[in-house]
Amino acid sequence: MKFVKDFRDRELAEKLLSAINHEAEPSRTYRFMEVCGSHTMAVSRFGLRSLLPKNIELVSGPGCPVCVTPQWEIDAIFEIASRDDVTIVTFGDMIRVPGSRGESLQKLRAEGADIRIIFSPLDTLKIAEETGKDTVFIGIGFETTAPTSAALAKMAKELGRTNVFIAPFCKTVPEVMDVLLSDETLEIDGFLCPGHVSVVTGLDIYKPVTAKKRSAVVTGFEPLDILSSVLEMVRQHNKGEYEVKNFYTRAVKNEGNVKAQALLKEVFYQADTDWRGLGRIPKSGLRFRDEYKFVDALARFGIAETGVTDLKGCKCGDVLKGKMKPSACPMFDNGCTPQNPYGPCMVSSEGSCSAYYKYER
Partner 1 sequence: MKKIGLAEGGGGSATNKFIKELFISRLGNEASEKMPDAAHLETGVRTAFTTDGFVVRPEFFTGGNIGKLAVCGTVNDLAVSGAKAEYLSLGIVIPEGYEAEKLEKVVDAVAETAEKAGVKIVCGDTKVVEKGAADGLFINTAGIGRVVKDWASFENIKEADAVILTSDLARHGMSVLLARGELGFEGNIESDCAPLNKMLESLHEYDVHFCRDATRGGVAAVLNEISEGAGKGFLIRENDLPLRQDVGNLCEILGFDPLSVANEGLAVIIVAASDASHVVEKLKSFPEGRNACIIGFVNGEGRVILETAVGGRRVVDMPAGELLPRIC
Partner 2 sequence: MCLGFPGKLIEMDDFKAVVDIDGTTREVSLMMLPDEVVIGDYVMVHAGFAIAKMDPDEAQKTLEALREFADLLDEEGQL
**Residue 230: alpha-carbon gap to chain centroid:** 20
Q: Which does 194 bind (CB under 5 to 8 A by kind): partner 1, partner 2, none?
A: partner 2
Nearest to 140 by CA among 65, 39, 64, 62: 65
Of 139, 223, 317, 344, the one binding partner 1 (CB under 8 A) is 223
**Identified binder of partner 1 from the candidate list 124, 246, 309, 348, rule CB under 8 A:** 348
| CB of 122 or CB of 308, closer to partner 2 | 122
Four-point Cα dihedral 282, 35, 337, 76, nearest 10: 30
Determine which residue in the list 24, 30, 32, 37 makes contact with partner 2, applying CB under 8 A.
Answer: 37
Distance between first and last Cα of the chain = 31
Are 192 and 217 in contact by the 8 Å Cβ rule? The answer is: yes
Q: Quick one: 250 or 358, whose CB is closer to partner 1?
A: 358
Residue among 62, 65, 168, 317 that touches partner 1 (CB under 8 A): 65
Angstrom distance (rounded) from CA 270 to CA 292: 14
Determine if 257 is a binding residue for partner 1 (CB under 8 A).
no
Give the angle subtended at the CA of 214 by the CAs of 273 and 6, to the nearest 5°.
Answer: 95
208: left (phi over 0), alpha (psi -120 to 50) or beta: alpha
Residue (of 127, 265, 140) closest to 201 by Cα position: 265
Binding mask 78-117 for partner 2 (x = CB under 8 A): -------------x--------------------------
Binding of partner 2 by 51 (CB under 8 A) = no
Residue 7 binds partner 2 (CB under 8 A): yes
Instruction: Work out how close the CB of 89 gets to partner 1 at its nearest, in angstroms, rounded to a whole number.
Output: 11
Task: Find the binding residues for partner 2 in span 288-347 (CB under 8 A).
Answer: none
Stretch that binds partner 2, among 49-57, 244-252, 316-324, 335-343 (CB under 8 A): 244-252
Q: Would you say 56 or 150 has its CB closer to partner 2?
A: 150
Residue 201 main-chain phi, psi, to 5 deg: -80, -30
114, 172 Cβ separation under 8 angstroms: no
Helix (H, G, I), strand (E, B) or coil at 98: coil
Contact track, partner 1, 5-34, x by CB under 8 A: ---xxx--xx--------------------
The number of angstroms, rounded, from the C-alpha of 211 to the middle of its chain's C-alpha atoms is 24
The C-alpha angle with vertex 151 and arms to 145 and 156, in degrees rounded to 5, equals 135
Give which of partner 2, partner 1, none residue 344 binds (C-beta under 5 to 8 Å, depending on kind): none
Q: Which is nearer to partner 1, 87 or 348 (CB)?
A: 348
Q: Which positions touch partner 2 (CB under 8 A)?
A: 1-4, 6-7, 11-12, 15-16, 18-19, 22, 35-39, 63-65, 91, 118-123, 141-142, 144-145, 147-148, 151, 154, 194-197, 199-200, 221, 224, 228, 247, 249-253, 257-260, 263, 350
